[in-house]
Structure 1
Amino acid sequence: MNLNAFTKESDLQKLLNKNVGVSAQKLSSRETPGILSIITAEEIQNSGARDLTDVLRLVPGFDVMQDLQFVMGIGLRGSWANEGKVLVMMDGQPFNDLLYQSVAVGNRFPIDAVERIEIIRGPGSAIYGGSAEYGVINIITKAAESLNGVAIYGTGGFHADATGRTNAGVMASRKTESLAWDFSFFKGAGIVSDDQHHDDPIQNAYNGNTNYINQNLAKVSTADPMNINLGLRYKDLYLRTMYDEFKTSDPQVDVSFKNFFADLRYAWKINDKFKLTPQLKFTDQRPWTYGPKENKDPDFEAQATRLYAQADGEYNASRKTSINFGAIYFRDHGDYETVLSTFAGDRSLTLSNYAFYAQALFKHRLANATVGFRYEKNNRYGGAFVPRLALTKKIENFHFKVLYSQAFRAPSLQNINIALNDKIKPEKSDVFELELGYQFTPEMLLAVNAFSISTRNVMIYGSEGEDETFQEWYENSQKSGSKGIEVVYSVRQKTWYAHLTYSFSQAIKSNTVEVYEVSQTDRQYVGFPTHKITLNTNFNLTSKLSFNPTFIYASKRYAYTAVDDDGNAISTALDPYVVANAFLNYRNLLPGLTAGVGAYDILNERPAIPQAYNGGYGPIPGRSREYVVKLSYQLNFAK
């Protein structure tokens, strides 16, 4: 121990001791009151990740599932988490849509422009509100954080008989003490799958969609992103605007998401102890615009806007005591411009919300205690109160976290607009978490956490009928949830590192959400494996050349893949799979130029992407082996 006190901080220690922005109080990752995963730009570049999906699949508990119409969303800890259960932000802007609170992923986010990704694998409602019931993903771009120059990058992905993706972007940023600006542009084109033959018996049985038979998905599926991001700072005044567009499709339907964000805030440092940050935001979205491929006019199109005002206070009473608190008001409005004749909701809807939150941190030699709450009230669904309690501490090489949180999922515009009998309640979850960790050497850490999630008043989508008799609604089901264990073992040396993770999750026995269930077992929900193992390794072969193999194992899953004699969907087992990837990265091929080549799914396992509930779609056929080429060039400005 005496030697450790005088040795140079290891690379692992630098990462562990870095304050985490996603935490309200700035604590290191081993003491912040949440179960964290932090992915750095170095790890993203070394792995050759093609998009956010590749990153999330290496994180304990995370998976990517199908929602509908080949739109993919996030699953977490064995449960479907796409609608309002995981908050996804990029440079402070929330990407959850205002209609359903969902986030479409896939070939969408500019992964090569990312500085780091901070993930809370657990509830964040006490600070972040009703879109963070199960977790938070905070994406910080290089232009907004560290870049002081110009950078360009491009990615090409190629299957045996199709082009998987072609993405490119440019970033520029200039930072001085009093003035800073950054600009980035990203655009791409991709496909959802390159499978040559696809027969979805569920779609054919339910809707008579012969478009789902024997289709070359490389020709009929798309995943095309675009993002424009501009930030300005003058002293303590910050402005950020962003436009994001994502177009995707299945064999029959085109779907698009369009988002505009504007964010103005001022960090007013009243004195050394107190900082007040007033903030104004405006969001304008056109989410889930969809219609048949043969028609230019959509079947559904809505404009959703949010006006948002917040005042956040940070008071550091002493070195050992601090408090964050704030008040929020926001107004959501939806105008349904194009809807089917069977649409049952109002053509215009306005929601008014206000919220108060506070969180105090007390540091003691025995433990850090975090106590917080959030109260939010809406003019349509009433109020929601959620408390948060945490005890955390790092004692020499050992750390522990004991966490209890209530979290909620606030009904959004469409949940309220088509609610069954005009009644819908917020979801509410009780989440217990325990993490124990030990740093065996400056380069080696083992962390084990257990969790239990119990969600009541689960908001569930329902529908029945076809064509003119079609009806859809949202209603509350009594209970759902999961429990499990996650293990992270990290070793980081000067010339190599390795991250080994294991995830175990299991459905609770008292689940009442039938569309999540399968007939084979009551311990797994649709599409989710019980066990997942990942290994992410990197070897510096020379000072410039690195080799990064990764492996993902998932145990048996169940999915709705067929229909019985009465035309009802039935679940079948999907085999376990092992996805092996490898990427070779060469830095400073020329000054500032980095090049990389690699292959994803080397074994050509092609794991299918099932729908995360019994919703009328069979699994998306998995992509075949994809060869990836990456180039990036960065020119730094003189200081």
Structure 2
Amino acid sequence: MSTTLIRVVILFFISFSVAAQDLDSLLNMSAYTQESELQKVLNQNLTVSSAKALTTRETPGIISLITAEEIQNAGARDIIDILRLVPGFEIAQDLQFVLGMGLRGSWANEGKVLVMMDGQPFNELLYQGVALGNRFPVDAIERIEIIRGPGSAIYGGSAEYGVINIITKAADKLNGVHVFGVSGFHSNNIGRINGGVSVAQKKDNISWDLSFFKGKGIVSDRPFTDFNGDTTLSSLANVADSDPMNLNVGLKAKGFQIRGMYDEFKTSDPFTYVNFRNYAVDVKYDYKASKKLLITPQLKYYNQIPFQYGYFDTFTDVDGTVYEADEDYLKVRAERYYGSLSFVYDLSRKVNINFGGLYFQDKATDLLKSDYFGANKVSFNNVGFFAQSLLKHRLVNATLGFRYERNNAYGDAFVPRVALTKKIENLHFKILYSQSFRAPSIENINLAYEGKIKPEQSQVFETEIGYQFTPEMLLAVNVFSLRTKDVIVYLVSDDVYKNYPKSGSYGVEMVYSVRKSNWYTNLTYSFSRAGKSSDADPYEIPGLRDQYLAMTSHKFTLNTNFYINKSISLNPTFIGVGKRYAYTAPDVITKLDPYFLANVFLNFKEIYKGFTAGVGVYDLFNEKPSFPQGYNGDYAPVPGRSREFVLKLSYQLNFKK
């Protein structure tokens, strides 16, 4: 989107607002005396986009907030079901049936969207990707805070396009025991069987929590045609696993916090198996030096074996090396040692400053002792500084910040951030400008074209305007322009990562919410177009400049819930996605038809003293949307699941206060 068009949109918003009512009348409008059901959600304070807690309408980012109530009512099976209801998100394949995400019309899986659960990142260190699917314990989630836009100024080089911050019930709200399970059934196969338990105790000066989640599932139950046209697989149900496991432990004592997490995810395609293992320990201390100053030292350690894979059948590499069946082809230990010191200072009631520094070291060790990195080990050092200020004024909240990082392997990156936001009675607006970056990961550096790779840099303009027409109704519309240079792209044919000059997208997103005591509805629409000057060939569709591979230009969602009584709710959801394009064979581009997903879920809450049950059907009309590869990588689309019948059970016992 051109600068001229952005100015026209901003002027239109301003003119519309002024025409509707001048500033004095806005300031003098009477506030609603009683907080509505919608306002209870909108007025929640978030820190995902700023050091100082602000509501969703004033925080300096384009925000989506998904609550535990919405997740439970919709009967979400996994994180994919949740993200499909968020504007701008699309799910596609990376490779080897590992699913990842696109955002705002661009493939965004490697280092472009940061995914965290209870503060622990799920982006693996080797490629900075996040494997999706039957993975996250969605029934243990208290809320999900999503930045649909750049987050590098706060979170660094893994948050170029967005941030997904998952907070579990045990870590946040639970004071008791919560047991949950979900089963999914296709017509001829079991789709998944997952279960977990969470225990947490909250007291005034100390709290602890423990959660365990484990499951077994399949990627798909349908026939598969590979990139070379082989159709011998009549069903993927027995050859494409999707098995998660997560152990999560936390302790808080006054200002001291420690969290440990072990996460494992096993998946496979008909030819290869892929495993992810991640140990994480996070220790920090919030020291209240004075009424105005908070000092936080933090130490983290990650120990991963990410993207470990091998072949089910005997495989001969291009260099003549023969790998026997079920023998690892890649097995690397990746480690990160991280330390930071941050300061949050309230200069006054209206001025807040946050600043600090960080250092981390990444190490990689070839566990197969094959000199994969040219030696058995490699390591890289990174130092960074960040600062952000918030000025709260009666007319506008102004946020100004930056982040600077320097790595001994790929150089430095500097990203500034400016935001103007305000809620004035029923009206809110946001004008945002950010630069962001994707830091090259271990494998980006190791497989760099001619041994050179640079950080990917993006420039993002965003504006949002919203109006609360009644206490129960809100409409918000945002426009964005995203331009990326030095795009880090994987070239399958050469097995290298290379910087391409430019890429990007522009578009519009709309959210319309109505929430009353006995029902609510969320209607969203998102539109995106590929940047006209893009030259990242592996993402592009030959002969078509409007879209990138696997991404759609149009998506709408409708999530509606009806409380039939205090115990029973009915939740139909609808997701419509426009045409997409995919490579289905060498040099063959296929247009994938638009699809319309209809799901329905019936909840029975508090059937008996904390016991809840739910039943539903996903993909009611059996559309079976596939997951095309997000780039030209020699993989045919993964067939989507067929209609799935879902049963959920949970039990919660609350401790006495």
Q: Same fold (TM over 0.5)?
A: yes
Distance 1:321 1:520 in 2: 52
Partner of 1:468: none
Q: Kindly provide the amino acid, as one letter, of the partner of residue 21 in structure 1.
A: T
| 1:279 and 2:287 are equivalent in the alignment | no
Classify the secondary structure of the residue corresponding to 2:575. Answer: strand
**Aligned equivalents of 1:473, 1:189: Cα separation in 2:** 34
Q: Within 5 A, what are the aligned runs for 1:225-236?
A: 225-236=244-255
Gaps of 5+ in 1: 465-470, 563-567
Cα displacement string for residues 473-510 of structure 1 (whole angstroms, at most 9, x for unaligned residues)? 11100100000000000000000000000000000111
Q: Distance in 2 between matches of 1:636 and 1:23?
A: 32
Which of 305, 310, 314 is 2:335 aligned to?
305
After superposition, the C-alpha distances for 1:505-541 in whole angstroms (9 at most, x for unaligned) are 0001111111111124110000111100000000000
Q: Which residue of 1 aligns with 2:243?
A: 224
CA distance in 2, matches of 1:110, 1:412: 27
Q: Which amino acid in the other structure matches residue 509 of structure 2?
A: E
Correspondence list, 1:231-630, <5 A: 231-294=250-313, 295-338=325-368, 345-464=374-493, 471-562=494-585, 568-630=586-648
In the TM superposition, what are the counterparts of 1:15-164 in structure 2 within 5 Å?
A: 15-24=41-50, 25-164=52-191
Q: Would the aligned equivalents of 2:370 and 2:376 in 1 still touch at CA under 8 Å?
A: no
Instruction: Output the CA distance in 1 between the equivalents of 2:279 and 2:466.
Output: 41
1:167 aligned residue = 194
Residue 396 (structure 1) shift? 1.2
Q: What CA deviation, in whole Å up to 9, does each residue of 1:387-421 have, x standing for no partner?
A: 00000011111010000000000011111111111
* SS, match of residue 196 in structure 2: strand
8 Å contact kept, 1:299–1:340? no
Aligned to 1:632: 650
Alignment of 1:137-216 (within 5 A): 137-195=164-222, 197-200=223-226, 202=227, 204=228, 213-216=232-235
Please report how far the alpha carbon of residue 365 of structure 1 lies from its aligned counterpart in structure 2 after TM superposition. Answer: 1.5
What amino acid is aligned across from residue 501 of structure 1 in structure 2? Answer: T
**Residues 479/67 of structure 1: CA separation in 2 closer, same or farther (3 Å cut):** same
Aligned equivalents of 2:232 and 2:119: distance in 1? 42
Q: Answer whether contact 2:111 2:127 (CA < 8 A) is retained.
A: yes
- Please report how far the alpha carbon of residue 214 of structure 1 lies from its aligned counterpart in structure 2 after TM superposition: 2.4
Residue 218 of structure 1: SS of its match in structure 2?
Answer: coil
- When normalised by structure 1's length, the TM-score is 0.95
Q: Is the 8 A contact 1:301 1:339 kept in 2?
A: no
The number of equivalent residue pairs is 619
Letter in 2 for 1:379: N
Over residues 233-253 of structure 1, what are the superposed CA-to-partner deviations in whole Å (9 max), with x where a residue is unaligned? 111100100000000000010
**Aligned-partner Cα distance in 1 for 2:388–2:84:** 31
Indicate how the Cα distance of structure 1 residues 288 and 436 shifts in structure 2: closer, same or farther if over 3 A, else same: same
Question: Aligned partners of 1:389, 1:236: CA distance in 2, in Å?
Answer: 31
Question: Deviation of residue 432 (structure 1)?
Answer: 0.3
| Conservation of the 8 A alpha-carbon contact between 1:452 and 1:483 | yes
Cα offset for 1:472?
1.5
Aligned-partner Cα distance in 1 for 2:498–2:509: 32
Residue 19 of structure 2: aligned partner: none
Q: Which runs of 5+ in 2 are unaligned?
A: 1-25, 314-324
Deviations 1:321-349 (A, max 9, x none): 001111100000001222779x5754321
Equivalent-residue separation in structure 2 for 1:439 and 1:300 (angstroms):
53
Query: CA separation in 2, counterparts of 1:463 and 1:629?
Result: 41
Partners of 1:189 and 1:527 in 2: how far apart? 27
Equivalent-residue separation in structure 2 for 1:21 and 1:150 (angstroms): 27
User: What is the Cα deviation at residue 23 of structure 1?
Assistant: 2.5
Q: Is the 8 A contact 1:299 1:339 kept in 2?
A: no
CA contact (8 A) 1:143 1:171 kept: yes
Secondary structure of the residue aligned to 2:249 is strand
How far does residue 218 in structure 1 lie from its aligned partner after superposition?
Answer: 0.4
Structure 1 match to 2:14:
none
Letter in 2 for 1:579: L
Report the residue type matching 1:231 in the other structure: G
Q: 2:568, 2:631 → 1: CA distance?
A: 44
Check conservation: 2:514, 2:522, Cα contact below 8 A: yes
> Could you say if the C-alpha distance between residues 633 and 627 of structure 1 is closer, same or farther in structure 2, counting changes exceeding 3 Å?
same
**TM-score when scaled to structure 2?**
0.93
Q: Is the 8 A contact 2:491 2:538 kept in 1?
A: no
In the alignment, is the contact (CA less than 8 A) between 1:303 and 1:335 conserved in 2? yes
Query: Would the alpha carbon gap of residues 383 and 69 (structure 1) be closer, same or farther in structure 2, given more than 3 Å must change?
Result: same
Report Cα offsets for 1:442-498 as digits up to 9, x if no partner.
10000000000000000011133xxxxxx5111100100000000000000000000
Residue type at the aligned position of 2:248: N
Displacement after TM superposition at 1:3 (Å): 9.8
Show the counterpart of 2:40. Answer: 14
2:319 matched residue in structure 1: none
SS of structure 2 residue aligned to 1:383: strand
- State the alpha-carbon separation in 1 of the partners of residues 307 and 429 from structure 2: 42
Question: Does the aligned pair in 2 maintain the 1:500–1:535 contact within 8 Å?
Answer: yes
Letter in 1 for 2:184: G
**CA deviation string 1:292-320 (max 9, x = no partner):** 12533311100000000011111011111
Partner amino acid for 1:414? Answer: E
Letter in 1 for 2:439: A
One-letter amino acid of the counterpart of residue 262, structure 1: V
% identity of equivalent residues: 59
Aligned-CA RMSD value: 1.4
Deviation at 1:215, TM superposition (A): 3.9
What is the CA-CA distance between 1:424 and the residue it aligns to? 0.3
Cα distance 1:344–1:325, how it changes in 2: closer, same or farther (>3 A)? closer
